[in-house]
């Protein structure tokens, strides 16, 4: 009889400790309805922004494919830049060509980048007519994204029989 009572007390203590721990955990980690709504709002805003970048990226890539289909490989980078600028304008997109971006260090201008294309003020398009895309080309695009504070860039290589595309998200 004593062992049954002892087992009951030990079980009761375990359950009581578990209940106290769980109550404290829930109290410390619960989110209010307002917090939940804010998190949902932030997620939906990020979804909208991602969709917007995806749609714009698709339009740019489609235009680049059309330019590559018409011209093929073998031209200078500047020719592809001009052709893509025309194609993007035909699609109703605003394009800035050879936009200068100043680079500052400790408040002092230390250099200038020139972006090949800036589409809709949101996506940097860096164009190449090179045998292969290298890590240096990707690093260059990443530095442009960092310098401008933009999030998405496209690296396009027109020198191959099939257009080579790299999308970089910062």
- Kindly write down the DSSP assignment for every residue of 77-138, as one continuous string: HHHHHHHHHHHHHHTT--EEEEEEEEEEETTEEEEEEEEEEEETTTEEEEEE--SS--HHHH
Give pLDDT, residue 163: 97
Give pLDDT, residue 53: 79
Give pLDDT, residue 36: 52
Report, as an integer, the average pLDDT of 85-114: 95
Q: Mean pLDDT lowest for which of 15-24, 93-102, 157-166?
A: 15-24
Give pLDDT, residue 70: 97
* Residue 154: closest CA among 162, 95, 146, 142: 142
What b-and-e string marks burial along 39-68, b requiring 16 or more CB atoms within 10 Å of the CB? eeeeeeeeeeeeeebeebbebbbebbebbb
pLDDT tens across 55-88, in order?
Answer: 999 999 999 999 999 999 999 999 999 999 999 9
Which residue matches tokens 């991602």?
Answer: 50
pLDDT tens across 110-127, in order?
Answer: 999 999 999 999 999 999
Looking at per-residue pLDDT, the higher value among 48 and 31 belongs to 48
Q: What percent of the chain has pLDDT over 90?
A: 68
Mean pLDDT of the chain: 82
Looking at per-residue pLDDT, the higher value among 42 and 126 belongs to 126
In the chain, what are the domains? 32-169 (3.40.1350)
Rounded CA gap, 119 and 123, in Å? 5
**Residue 139 CB partners (closer than 8 Å, separation 6+):** none
Give pLDDT, residue 46: 58
Report, as an integer, the average pLDDT of 39-63: 75
The SS3 call for residue 150 is coil
Task: Say yes or no to pLDDT of 92 above 80.
Answer: yes
């Amino acid at each position: 009889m004593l062992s049954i009572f002892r087992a009951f007390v030990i079980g009761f203590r375990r359950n009581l400790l578990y209940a106290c721990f769980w109550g404290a955990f829930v109290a410390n980690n619960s989110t209010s309805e307002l917090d939940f709504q804010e998190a949902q709002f932030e997620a939906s805003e990020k979804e909208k922004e991602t969709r917007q970048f995806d749609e714009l990226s698709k339009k740019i890539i489609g235009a680049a494919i059309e330019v590559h289909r018409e011209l093929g490989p073998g031209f200078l980078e500047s020719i592809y830049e001009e052709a893509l600028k025309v194609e993007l304008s035909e699609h109703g997109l605003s394009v800035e060509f050879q936009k200068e971006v100043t680079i500052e260090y400790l408040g002092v201008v230390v250099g200038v980048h020139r972006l090949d294309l800036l589409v809709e003020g949101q996506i940097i398009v860096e164009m190449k007519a090179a045998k292969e895309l290298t890590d240096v080309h990707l690093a260059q695009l990443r530095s442009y994204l960092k310098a401008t504070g933009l999030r998405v860039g496209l690296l396009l290589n027109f020198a191959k029989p099939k257009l080579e595309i790299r999308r970089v998200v910062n």
